[in-house]
Amino acid sequence: MLLNFPGQVIGAFYIPAFTLSAGEIVMVKLPSGPFFRSTIRSFVDTYQSPGYEHIHSSVPFRHVTYRTKRKFPHYFPLTVGGYCQQHGKPEHTLLQEMYTRTHLQPRTRLSTLTSNDEKLLSLFTTLMETNKLFFDLDGVNAMQGAEIFHTMRHHVGQTGAAVFFDFCDEFLQQCTRSVLAGYTGKLPVEEAAQLSAAAFIPAVE
């Protein structure tokens, strides 16, 4: 077993308990809307908190996220090649695979990348370090999303694992299993009103 999540409230949602073993992808289904991204961030922050022992993992997991200039102001590369030099492993075989299979090239300027491109670039550079992932397709369109998901699934393979956050069932059958997050009812009224009626799934603890 690579990861054991005991079930707890993350942000405004209760995420049921689940375990994750090598070769598995567990979908955590969250409601779409303004709290999707913040809930993922809270989950990752909870996992990474020093001394926090309730989420047990035998190996480190990495969140697939694009590292922006705002987060790294002192030195930020201008090209895909520079980004891979800073955040990936230039000697890794995945770098050549990315250049061969996608339109991303060493001299592609980061300023021209779409959100789809940023997700693809962040996936490949994260995979250069590990195939144990926290992953989502936030901001990615449906057609490119399928390609990026299949790339992730292929490289997770039999040795890696992924916690996949999503708000629809498009990839449900391609995941090992899924858990459904439940809204706790603890958001302020004005914020809770932003969630769609479908988002109010009673939480069971």
Residue 106 token pair: 């060493």
Quick one: DSSP state of residue 201? P
For residue 53, the model assigns a pLDDT of 58
Residues whose CB is less than 8 angstroms from the CB of residue 174 and which lie 6 or more positions away in sequence, other chains included:
25, 149, 153
Instruction: Give long-range contacts, CB 8 A cutoff, 24+ apart: 57-60.
Output: 57/2, 57/3, 57/4, 57/132, 58/1, 58/2, 58/3, 59/2, 59/130, 59/132, 60/130, 60/132
8 A C-beta contact, residue 163 and residue 145: no
Write down the pTM of the prediction: 0.85
For residue 197, the model assigns a pLDDT of 44
8 A C-beta contact, residue 78 and residue 46: no
Tens of pLDDT, residue by residue, the chain (205 residues): 899 998 988 888 999 999 999 999 999 999 888 889 999 999 998 888 765 556 777 788 999 999 876 555 556 678 999 999 988 998 899 999 999 999 999 999 999 999 999 999 999 999 999 999 999 999 999 889 999 999 999 999 999 999 999 999 999 999 999 999 998 876 534 445 554 444 444 444 4
